[in-house]
Structure 1
Amino acid sequence: MKQRINKTIAAFGLIALPAFAIAEQQAANLDQLLKQLEQGKIAQTKQNQQREADFKARVAEQDNMLKNARTERDNAIATSTALEQSFQANEVQIANRTEALNKRLGELKELFGVLQQVAGDTKGKFQTSVISAQLPGRDVFLDEFTQSMGSSTKLASIEEIERIWFELQREMTESGKLSSFNGEVVAADGTRRQQEIIRVGGFNLVSEGKYLEYIFETNAIAELKRQPSDRYLASARAIAADSSGPVAFSLDPTGGSILNLLVQAPNTRERVDQGGPVGYVILGIGLVGLLIALERFVSLFLIGRKVNRQLKSEQVSKDNPLGRVMSVQADNPNVDNETLELKLSESILREVPKLTTRLTLIKIISVVAPLIGLLGTVVGMINTFQAITLFGTGDPKLMAGGISQALVTTVLGLVVAIPMVFLFAYLNGRSRNIINVLQQESTGIIAERSEKGA
């Protein structure tokens, strides 16, 4: 028990002592522990005395540092006060001199403001002008001039004013010239090649019979991805082929805006494609009707020629409807007039289906085509309303597909129906004329036989 108490007291002593005072070996009894504690206290006291002596020795140094810091602070405050006073004085002086400068400038300041505005507008014009394709870099000077004139103290020199005047005059002069130059052209497939370019004033660029566009951002000349119709390309080829005399040329006075809209307009094939499946059905029906009408036209034309030839001939031929009707009299020489009349009527009735066959189908097509077009219109409007329901009315392009289908199918239905109506009327008239000839000859045969019998 005594040993346990000694160990506990020793452990407490070790915790209480500072690190430097702990003995390397644990105290064996209370006397050793007390002795170690006394030695550690003496060592700590000496260390504290040494620290106190060092602190007292550095008091003078600390006081000197504090004095220097206060001196620097006072100097900084004095410098700040002086600079603030100088700043205020300079502000007043700048304001006075600016006012004096404005009074001296007078109307020149307004003139320089207008000049700066003209330079900015001219730079924008040069960036979109096709003349810059032949004369690049004109906007660099104007850009530098505009930026330099942004400062109220910068005045334009005579040389700069004359340079702006020269560039404006050159733009006006070149806009009235037909000029050719060699340049790199980016083809529609992405290839680049050097070729001759013809500039038509400040309106258009053409080369090898194709319209070009000038892209200012990349300083490149490129073919239009899609060229306008042939009548416009013909004028481009004409101006490239003949430069000796006047040539009709289709130019764009907007510098390319109208041309870009023109090439975006869909051609006939694209318009038909906008009709979708309904449009293709209408065209298929129209093609069938056209083939039937062509077959009927050829057939009735040949039959009409044979009938006319039979009318002029005394010899009966059975290769035509009139000959077959007239042969009834020869085949029935001994029948009475009423029976002959009935047989002639029967013969005419046999010929009528051959003359009017498939004409009813043409008439049906002329009626059905507009109805199918109306069906396409309804389908297109349904698609339009669905697009409005999903995406709203913010973007008209989302509704363009349904509207295009609605309009194109209606147009296709009318385009098919109107010719079919005229074809049916014409072919039906031709067939009725032949039938009337048969009826007239049949009546003539009966009348002639009645006269002989009388």
Structure 2
Amino acid sequence: MNLMKTTLISALLSLSTMTQAAPAATGNNDALQQLLEKASAYQAEEAALDKARQAAFRSDVKAQQQLLQQAKAELARQQQRADSLKQRFDNNELALTDKEEELRLRVGNLGEMFGVVRQVATDLSTVLSDSLTMVEVPQRQADLDKLSQAKELPNIAELEALWHTLQQEMTLNGQISQFRADVTDASGKPVSREVTRIGVFNAVTADGYLSYDPQLKTLGELGRQPQAAQLIADFLQSPQDVSLFALDPSRGALINLTLENPELLERVQQGGTVGYIIIALGVLGLLLAGWRLVALGSISARVKRQQQTLSQPSDDNPLGRVLASYAELPEHIEAEVLEAKMDEVVLRELPALERGQSIIKLFAGIAPLLGLLGTVTGMIATFQAITNFGTGDPKLMAAGISQALITTVLGLVAAIPLLLAHNWVASQSKRLVQLLDEQSAGLMAQHLEKDNRQVS
């Protein structure tokens, strides 16, 4: 159609041009006639196309109207169905309300009883899950899980079973009973043992307290027994109705906390290598101090005996050797020479009297320094644990902190008695040295007095 329009326009333009150029020419009449025929044919074709388009449009309008009518009819049917369903729903709601009211009237107080039964069954199930009596009586008459989750009213048999189970648990709570049960030993193997249950608080054997695992419902031996376990043997063997027993009212929690506290040996082990060195120095220093005290005590006893017989010097004590050295001096000797000789004799006895004191003092000074060293190494280990694992679990830092504190304590515990021992040894030695100085001064005074009498 576009092509025909273009042709028609071109023909009109050609006609206009031809009319202007040669309006009088005869040959042009034929061309105009042809052009007129083409224009007439084009108009006829366009009119046919318009009629066809109008017919197609009318046909589409009828189809759309038919579809619209079908849609309206379907909408009417669905609306009618919706109204019907709504009416049925409203009727059902009314019927349900009537039935609920009828159920409420029929149930009456049974609804409150149903709630109480469920609550009691739930509470009793929770109590039994942690009860020590489950080891002795693992099976109970009532199905507590069913009652606690029931959707309907319980029957008479279920109510009687619940009452029986509750009464049974109350009775077992107040009993001290003996029975055989499997006990997990230290190696993890179950061993049949004679078990004594003290209510719901503790279970014991002849060897001590037992731990109870509420998840596995089993008994197990403790890694080590508390000090109160010494009363168990007398309690089990006592023929009397009343006997002394250490009861844990927390059902084993206090015993576990007590066992978590390390003993003395475990405390020492927490100090590590530095702690062992401090203990070795302390023991060595105390042994050395003890040896020196015994030695000085023996010397002091011999010196006291020598003081009673000054005229008979003995070589087994410092005072006797000083008196012997004085006796060997010439009778006529100058005072300055005598003083020097006597000082020399006394000084010769000092090393034997002061032996070991410097080592004891050295150990007393090294012990707290080693404790400080252990503190530093323990804190380094603590910060290393924080770097590797963070601060989420304090137990990861406990080893380093324990080492830091234990080594400090060990250093002070070793240093204090070493200082006291050093002071004691030094005082004993100083007393003997003072005695020698007094005797030496007395001998020199006696010699000078004798010289003065001879001169006069």
> Which TM-score applies when normalising by structure 2?
0.72
- What's the counterpart of residue 316 of structure 2? 319
Of residues 272, 283, 295, the one that matches 1:287 is 283
Instruction: Write the mapping of 1:95-174 to structure 2, written as runs, cut at 5 A.
Output: 95-102=97-104, 109-110=111-112, 112-138=114-140, 141-148=143-150, 151=151, 154-156=152-154, 160-161=158-159, 163-174=161-172
Pairwise CA distance, 1:181: 1.8
Q: Which runs of 5+ in 1 are unaligned?
A: 1-80
Which residue of 1 is the match for residue 198 of structure 2?
200
Post-superposition Cα deviations, 1:192-214, rounded to whole Å, max 9, x if no partner, equal 33331111222111112222123
* Aligned-partner Cα distance in 2 for 1:323–1:99: 121
Match of 1:360 in 2: 358
Asked if residue 402 in structure 1 is aligned to residue 404 in structure 2, the reply is no
Distance 1:413 1:382 in 2: 18
Moved more, 161-170 or 419-428: 161-170
Counterparts of 1:305-384 in structure 2, within 5 Å, are: 305-314=301-310, 315-334=312-331, 335-384=333-382
Quick check: 1:185–1:221 contact (8 Å CA) kept in 2?
yes
Larger mean Cα displacement after TM superposition, 253-262 or 423-432 = 253-262
Q: In the alignment, residue 285 of structure 2 is paired with which amino acid?
A: G
Secondary structure of the corresponding residue to residue 235 of structure 1: helix
C-alpha distance in structure 2 between counterparts of 1:167 and 1:311, whole Å: 92
CA contact (8 A) 1:126 1:138 kept: no
1:304 matched residue in structure 2: 300
Displacement after TM superposition at 1:102 (Å):
4.3
Q: Compared with structure 1, are the counterparts of its residues 438 and 108 closer, same or farther at alpha carbon in structure 2 (3 Å cutoff)?
A: farther
Which one-letter code corresponds to 1:392 in the other structure? Answer: G
Q: Residue 336 of structure 1: CA displacement?
A: 4.1
Aligned residue among 430, 440, 443 for 1:442:
440
- Measured in 2, the distance between the counterparts of 1:221 and 1:323 equals 75
Report whether the alignment pairs 1:234 with 2:219: no
Superposed CA deviations along residues 277-297 of structure 1, whole A, max 9, x for unmatched, are 222222222232223222212
Contact 1:126 1:139 in 2 (8 A): no
1:156 and 1:451 map into 2 onto residues whose CA distance is: 122
1:253-264 matched pairs, under 5 angstroms: 253-264=249-260
Aligned-partner residue type, residue 270 of structure 1? E
Counterpart of 1:220 in structure 2 is 218
Bigger shift: residues 115-124 or 345-354: 115-124
**CA separation in 1, counterparts of 2:278 and 2:298?**
30
Q: Which amino acid aligns with 2:209?
A: Y
Partner of 1:126, secondary structure, is: helix
Alpha-carbon deviation of 1:160?
4.7
Q: 1:96 to 1:245 in 2, by over 3 A?
A: same
Kindly tell me the number of residue pairs found equivalent between the two proteins.
Answer: 368
CA distance in 1, matches of 2:428, 2:183: 61
Q: Give the partner amino acid of 1:296.
A: R
- Give, in whole Å, the separation in 1 of the partners of 2:309 and 2:154: 104
TM-score by length of 1: 0.72
- Equivalent residues of 1:204, 1:251 under 8 A apart: yes
Paired residue secondary structure (2:149): helix
The alignment partner of 1:227 has SS state of coil
Deviations 1:143-200 (A, max 9, x none): 332122xx1xx23456655654554454444334332222222222234333311112
One-letter identity of the residue aligned with 1:303: I
Q: Which secondary structure does the structure 2 equivalent of 1:266 belong to?
A: coil
SS in 1 for 2:143: helix
Seen in structure 2, the aligned counterparts of structure 1 residues 391 and 333 have a Cα distance that, compared at 3 Å, is same
Q: How many angstroms apart in 2 are the aligned matches of 1:301 and 1:363?
A: 20
CA distances 1:312-345 after superposition (whole Å, capped 9, x unpaired):
3343211111211222221115134443333222
Q: Partner of 1:26 in structure 2?
A: none
Distance 2:449 2:160 in 1: 112
Structure 1 partner of 2:265 = 269
CA 87–159 in structure 1, closer or farther in 2 if over 3 Å, else same = farther
Distance in 1 (CA, whole Å) between partners of 2:174 and 2:251 is 14
Farther off after superposition, 371-380 or 286-295: 286-295
SS at structure 2 position matched to 1:138: coil
Decide whether the 8 Å contact of 1:377 with 1:405 is kept in 2.
yes
- The structure that has the greater radius of gyration is 2
Residue 209 (structure 2) aligned to one of 193, 208, 211: 211
Give structure 2 stretches of 5+ with no counterpart: 1-82
Percent identical across equivalent pairs? Answer: 42
Asked if 2 retains the 8 angstrom alpha-carbon contact of 1:213 and 1:223, the reply is yes
Letter in 1 for 2:393: D
Instruction: Find the residue that maps to 1:250 and give its secondary structure.
Output: coil
Match of 2:79 in 1: none
SS in 2 for 1:214: strand
